[in-house]
Amino acid sequence: MKRKPNYLKHLLQWGVLAAIVGTVLWAKFSDKPVDVEAYCPFGGLQAFGTYLVNNSLACSMSMLQIMMGLVLAVGVILFSKLFCGYLCPLGTVGEWMGRAGKKLHLQVDVPSGSVVDKLLRVVKYVLLFTILYFTLSSSELFCKKLDPFYAVATGFKGEIVLWMSLTSLTLLLLGGFVVKMFWCKYICPLGAVSNIFKFTLLFVIAALGGWALGALGVANAWVWTIGGACLAAYIVEIAKMRSCTFPLMYIRRDLNTCNNCGLCEKKCPYQLPIHDYVKVKHVDCTLCGNCIGACAKDALQVNGRRSLRWVPGLLAVVLFFLAIWLGSTMELPTIDEKWGDYEKVENLQTFEMEGLQTIKCFGSSKAFSAKMQAVQGVYGVKTFVRRHGVEVLYDPAATDTLKIQAAIFAPTLRKYAMPGEQVPVLDVVKLGVEGLHDRMDMIYFGMVLQKIEGVYGFTSEFACPVDVTVYVDPAAGITEKMFGEAIDAKELIIPAKEGEKVIPMHTVLKTYAVAGQVSREEFAQVMFRDVEKLAGRFVANLEKWGDDEQFPKAVYEMVFPGIEKMPIRNAFPYFKSFLSCTDGIVSVDFVLRDMKPVMRIHYVKSMWDDAKLWKEVFQTEKWTLRMADGTFKEADPRLKFTTEGKTVEE
């Protein structure tokens, strides 16, 4: 009988590799970022672990990854290690390296169940424990530091540790060249966790044990759980080399037709001792079907039925797309935090809001949580990064949804330009705008208004709808219709590195009224309010040099019109931190002169003069910054100063 290759397996393996190469090349030539681990089930299992342990997900961990991991777990328990046999690119490369080594007669035989084989099998469990420990401790994927696929796919530019990545890549290529499926049998942490799922009873015991330890209040119960599971799985693996009841799908050998020719074992990527089994439930079996195609007697079939031969490959595809569908329809919260005596509060309610563009990662979610903790009556938050949504747990007796929305909202003041003398007065236009929820909404809304010629600036305050005050040139002829067309537009197109970026907009103009006029000077004063907030007194320096009689002060003034621009204003806190770390400088503030902002630095006369300030403060090559934890670090300056100031009399 002719050999019957598993064409579906080869098609899937080549297809996965082609898709990966195509994605990486497309990303490279289009200059668009690509998540090369978006479909990684191991990353998903780690992500789900961080959620169980820390009640949070890092921004690099998506629901798609999580569903890939959970579906893999279910697939291994019910069927077998189908991902390993049909879809895993590392498994494919390892298999090809084994064929190459065999053709060149360079392979070393390590029999399954031998002493060397059993000793090597511990490596993947040690690696699994290490990866899970550091990932669950930090909520960041530790495996990226050493994953050979991630290193190659990113061109060694990702979050890697070079020596770890090179070691892993060497073990994958050279190891597979010398020993068949070296990576998959001995190194792969996903193989280790898949084996734990194959030993289903062990997995259930470990999960229940971890839950019990947590319920008993054992510190770091998860460490004992994963450590115990890895150790137990290794012992079971080397002692039995096979699973029992699960998986439900396996290769069955017909004793009546098998002639023990051994060809199936030669074609098996793992060289499993198939002749020792009736039901081939060896821990390494991936149901790849190579043995079935090699058997001239049709003695090997999936569950003993010829009709099921193609089912494992088809199941691998079905499970893959099931994970994609589940990942696109479900979402775990990025953070789920509660605080205070929430358990003692009766009738807690949940306020939900979506479309918050600031909720975009783990860090921004934590910042949102910190903001909500300052709101009286709020006891918890959940954030959902994919849909930019939040759920706020609150006591309706202490607060209400309007107060929560007001706390989320970011009042904004933005100046685009100072009107010239030819524009002595500006119209004050009052707008009521729906769809402005948080800081990012206000940033994009500011870009919308900036596109309208004749608009010089705006302010916003929370209301329902949001109260927006726009200052416009009366001669520009801006009508309510023009405002409506700009604000009601469904998208905003802004320049980006890759060309243009399209931002979905959900703002709606609800009310419009002209509320009088202001002079240029009055407009300048209104816009200056945002700059005044940047002033600061340096407590540590005031304690040393605050006595004016002992340490007379002087004031160095510099015209600083750029401070009204958003990027410079955002960078100024770093300069202020640098000033606070500089001996003899006690405070900084701003005044408005001739409608221009002027920065004033207050310093000890005996320690500084104009020339020294300019050289050592404004032209220094490094800034010393005070960090939040009280430590100091050196950093490159974030602001450039080109116009010198001078000391003035108070």
How many whole angstroms separate alpha carbon 194 and alpha carbon 76?
A: 7
SS3 category, 444: helix
Q: What is the pLDDT of residue 60?
A: 61
pLDDT of 29 over the 80 cut:
no
Helix or strand holding residue 554 (H, E): strand 553-559
Structure tokens at 151: 């290193």
How many whole angstroms separate alpha carbon 338 and alpha carbon 2?
A: 65
User: What does the pLDDT look like over 535-569, one tens digit per residue?
Assistant: 999 999 999 999 988 999 999 999 998 898 888 98
Question: What is the arithmetic mean of pLDDT over 622-638?
Answer: 90
Q: What is the pLDDT of residue 484?
A: 95
Sign of CA dihedral 440, 442, 443, 448: positive
Q: What is the pLDDT of residue 566?
A: 84
pLDDT tier for residue 68 given thresholds of 50, 70 and 90: very high
pLDDT of 37 over the 80 cut:
no
Q: What is the pLDDT of residue 350?
A: 96
Structure tokens at 104: 């060149």
H helix runs in 469-519, sequence order? 480-487
User: What does the pLDDT look like over 211-261, one tens digit per residue?
Assistant: 999 889 888 899 999 999 999 999 999 999 988 888 999 999 999 999 999
Q: For residue 284, which of 431, 94, 553 has the smallest C-alpha distance?
A: 94
Q: Are 282 and 297 in contact (CB under 8 A)?
A: no
Q: In whole angstroms, how far apart are CA 303 and each of 53, 201, 298, 354, 650?
A: 38, 21, 13, 49, 93
User: What does the pLDDT look like over 584-608, one tens digit per residue?
Assistant: 999 999 999 999 999 999 999 999 9
Give me the percent of the chain exceeding a pLDDT of 70. 97
Burial 50-80 (b: 16+ CB within 10 A, else e): bbebbebbbebbbbbbbbbbbbbbebbbbbb
Question: What is the arithmetic mean of pLDDT over 154-167?
Answer: 87
Q: For residue 449, which of 483, 419, 405, 420 has the smallest C-alpha distance?
A: 483
SS3 category, 339: coil
pLDDT of 131 over the 80 cut:
yes
Question: What is the arithmetic mean of pLDDT over 317-332?
Answer: 92
Q: What is the pLDDT of residue 55?
A: 77
pLDDT tier for residue 47 given thresholds of 50, 70 and 90: confident
pLDDT tier for residue 31 given thresholds of 50, 70 and 90: low
Judged by average pLDDT, the poorest of 347-351, 387-391, 406-410, 646-650 is 646-650
Q: What is the pLDDT of residue 23?
A: 82
Q: For residue 130, which of 195, 46, 243 has the smallest C-alpha distance?
A: 46
pLDDT of 199 over the 60 cut:
yes
pLDDT of 138 over the 60 cut:
yes
pLDDT of 63 over the 60 cut:
yes
Question: What is the arithmetic mean of pLDDT over 500-526?
Answer: 93
Q: What is the mean pLDDT of the chain?
A: 91
Q: What is the pLDDT of residue 437?
A: 92
Burial 324-342 (b: 16+ CB within 10 A, else e): bebbeeebbbbbbbeeeee
For residue 255, the tally of other CB atoms under 10 A from its CB is: 9
Q: What is the pLDDT of residue 153?
A: 84
Question: What is the arithmetic mean of pLDDT over 386-413?
Answer: 93
User: What does the pLDDT look like over 332-391, one tens digit per residue?
Assistant: 888 899 999 999 998 999 999 988 888 888 888 889 999 999 999 999 999 998 888 999
pLDDT of 58 over the 70 cut:
no
Separation of CA 228 from chain center: 29
Q: What is the pLDDT of residue 34?
A: 66
Maximum CA extent, the chain = 107
Highest mean pLDDT (candidates 63-72, 136-145, 496-505): 63-72
Q: What is the pLDDT of residue 274?
A: 92
pLDDT of 61 over the 80 cut:
no
User: What does the pLDDT look like over 424-462, one tens digit per residue?
Assistant: 999 999 999 999 999 899 999 999 999 999 999 999 999
User: What does the pLDDT look like over 277-302, one tens digit per residue?
Assistant: 999 999 999 999 999 999 988 899 99
pLDDT tier for residue 32 given thresholds of 50, 70 and 90: low
pLDDT of 15 over the 80 cut:
yes
Give me the percent of the chain exceeding a pLDDT of 90. 72
Residue 35 DSSP code:
-
Q: What is the pLDDT of residue 64?
A: 87
Q: For residue 38, which of 67, 81, 75, 71 has the smallest C-alpha distance?
A: 67
Question: What is the arithmetic mean of pLDDT over 36-41?
Answer: 82
Q: Are 311 and 269 in contact (CB under 8 A)?
A: no
Q: What is the pLDDT of residue 113?
A: 86
| pTM given for the model | 0.73
Q: What is the pLDDT of residue 2?
A: 56
